[in-house]
Amino acid sequence: MGWYDWFSSFYDSSLEALYADARAAAADGLSLSSAERVLDLPVGTGQSLGPLLERLDPSATVVGVDLSAGMVDKARARAERSGWGSRVELVVGDVHTVEVEGYDRLHVFLGMTAFPRHEEAFERLWAGLAPGGRAAVVDVYAEKPGFQGKMVNLVARADITRRAWEPLERLAEGFERVALPPNPKYGGELWLATGRKPS
């Protein structure tokens, strides 16, 4: 993950403001007031931790996982600056092998277009979600990316032509997908998908 370790050095200055509203929308979509344990994967530099924790009971925790040690280091520094203490657990791990059980909310922000085997990855995350738990997925889609979309694919090592909401749509009850407010910098449509695991 050398690229993302390097990317972590300017990730926040490049993208934090751009996605702030979408991160809040994703946190709202998880109905967090009754949640006890949230999995945030990929956690990146921890940009979603604040919106998630603001909506959680003080006794609830967020587990953030990322394959990039550089990203996790930035997330850990954010958590320390913010005084979140034991409310946040941060782990360097691969979505295909890391422990992903024992949580009741799943938050996947800009991961589904970057995971090498995204459908397999999502099915594994879903298997670890408690029955009745909710998931929120945010990502970008462009059927035929233009120049900006191609740049997003290059910089993020992503594939925004994926219909990356479909694994959630196939598995969830109460599935919804909405377009979030547009911005040319996204390189395509930014969307939020939510759904609940059957009890």
Backbone φ, ψ for residue 194 (5° rounding)? -135, 155
CATH: 3.40.140.10, 3.20.20.60, 2.40.30.30, 3.40.50.150. Which one for 2-196?
Answer: 3.40.50.150
- Please give the C-alpha separations between residue 151 and each of 44, 158, 159, 164, 185, in angstroms, as whole numbers: 19, 10, 11, 19, 10
Backbone φ, ψ for residue 136 (5° rounding)? -130, 130
The residues spanned by each domain of the chain are 2-196
> pLDDT digits over 47-59, tens only?
999 999 999 999 9
Note the helical H segments in 55-172.
69-82, 118-127, 147-156, 166-171
What is the C-alpha to C-alpha distance for residues 62 and 44, in angstroms, rounded to an integer? 13
What is the C-alpha to C-alpha distance for residues 156 and 64, in angstroms, rounded to an integer? 19
Average pLDDT, the chain: 96
Which is higher by pLDDT, 1 or 185?
185
What average pLDDT score do residues 84-88 get? Answer: 96
Share of the chain above pLDDT 70, in %: 99
pTM: 0.97
Which of 144, 17, 8 is CA-nearest to residue 69? 8
**Residue 182 DSSP label:** P
First to last CA, the chain: 37
Backbone φ, ψ for residue 158 (5° rounding)? -120, 175
